[in-house]
Structure 1
Amino acid sequence: MGERLLVVEDEPSLLKGLLDVLSLRGYEVESSGRGDEALEMALTRPYHLILLDVMLPELSGFEVLKALRQAGRRTPVILLTAKNTEMDKVLGFELGVDDYVTKPFSLLELLGRIGAVLRRAEPPAATREAPADETLTFGPVVFDIKRYTVHHPEKAVELPAKAFDILRVLARHEGTVVSRDTLMDEVWGQDQFINQRTVNNLVVKLRQTIEADPAEPRFLKTVHGVGYRLDR
């Protein structure tokens, strides 16, 4: 293995247990019990994956995740949470989380999810896609897909990382209809808890950025009952 993981958990006994198990499994592990410290570590050191508790001192897991994605960091993140509400999951996925594990959890489940996320993050060379265009232009609005940034001539724009991922998939299939199920599979993976409302909400955010009149879209169009089509 040898993958480098950052474990962010403020409960000492749980943190110790996680570090012991992950180390025995061959992972190289670093840890933090504070949100602000974890954010600094994640921004300045390379990790293959971050296990991130939601309830942390100084900065919450959601705040750490949001800051990472706004900084353009695509390090895979699994959130550890004591809450199992749909709204929390929707928020996390919109911010760019890769998976959720609800406390209390079994170590076997956690190890399985870590392995699945790591496999999705680095697909085998034989199946890896050719890089897509790094920028997408819609009139005066320019998306830098690689850096997860938007240049808008009239306003500052911040978008969730998953909105960029949706746009990347739509651009790869430009001119053809992409179903919501396909977007969910390609952006989040088939084993994720995602509903179509999450996709719809992110498309709304994209339209508000791309379109001069979001109610009458020119670029990002809905094909009712099927999905979305990107036309440029």
Structure 2
Amino acid sequence: MRQIILDTETTGLDPAQGHRVVELACVEMVNRSLTGRHLHLYLNPDRDSDPEALNVHGLTTEFLSAYPRFHEVASQLVDYVAGAEVIIHNAAFDVKFLDAELNRAGLGPFRTLCDSITDSLLYARELHPGKRNSLDALCERYGISNAHRTLHGALLDSELLAEVWLAMTRGQDTLLMDFDAHDGQGGGGQGLAAFDASVLKVLRASEAEMVEHQQYLKVLDDAVGKPCLWRSLDPLPEPSGAVAES
């Protein structure tokens, strides 16, 4: 499963008033693991940012003038999001800007470029009704440090959102109950959903840990006067560092 966490920074609040995207960032996750492969673009908007927007992202007109315009790098975005689920916080805002930029570039709406769009803000509101669900509030709720976030930046925000999304959806790839939607009590459903064990990280015991484990089992053996139940169910080989008892 390939997911893209996307964020933008803009010159203002409404593309209908001529405002443009000035920064675009995407972070890739495959099977709920960050791959380190990301897309990060600064864009020349050919206009100044509103003072309020400039206070948010700090990207000046002079700084952005050295970077390409959206239509010059649009193909990078098209290729990057192809076939993926794209996760955006307050997706309606970012998508309306992306649609406006793609239209100027002679391309179709953003939704046609990817497999699907998920709004993490709507998901958070369902999960935490009546609470603040901004990115900062969610970072605080899930114990994710954003102390280094003095200004909004698309790459940093997308990285933070990726961590928040993993925290909000933790457990979705394990023993999910997949009940029939027509059965309010869950009866007659399909039971536990399929589970892909390949997504789990396998940590093997070290030699020292195996020795310590054998010593603990001997304590149990001595306490009950016979081999403990653990040995009969799952006998383990003696580690090479263990010393045989005489």
TM superposition score normalised by structure 2: 0.26
Identify the structure with the greater strand proportion: 1
TM superposition score normalised by structure 1: 0.27
Larger C-alpha radius of gyration, 1 or 2? 2
Higher RCO, 1 or 2 (CA under 8 Å, sep at least 6)? 2
